[in-house]
Amino acid sequence: MAERTGTMQVDIKLVRQLAELLNETGLTEIEVEDDDRKIRVARTVQAASVAVAAPAPAAAPAAAPVAAPVAPTPPADHPGALKSPMVGTVYLAASPEAAPFVSVGDSVKEGDTVVIIEAMKVMNPITATKGGKVTQVLVANGQPVEYDQPLVVIE
Give the containing element (helix H, strand E) for 20.
helix 12-25
Which position has the higher pLDDT, 14 or 107?
107
CATH of the domain at 94: 2.40.50.100
**65/96 same-domain check:** no
Domain span at 123 = 75-154
Contact criterion met (CB below 8 Å) for 93 and 139: no
Q: Which residues of 11-41 are buried (b: 16+ CB within 10 A; e: fewer)?
A: beebbeebbeebeeeebbbbbbeeeeeebbb
CA–CA separation, 19 and 16 (whole Å): 5
Contact criterion met (CB below 8 Å) for 15 and 61: no
**95/147 same-domain check:** yes
**57/3 same-domain check:** yes
**89/55 same-domain check:** no
Instruction: Give the torsion through C-alpha atoms of 44, 32, 24, 117, to 10 deg.
Output: -60
Tell me: the pLDDT tens digits for 30-50?
777 777 777 777 766 544 444
Which position has the higher pLDDT, 53 or 88?
88
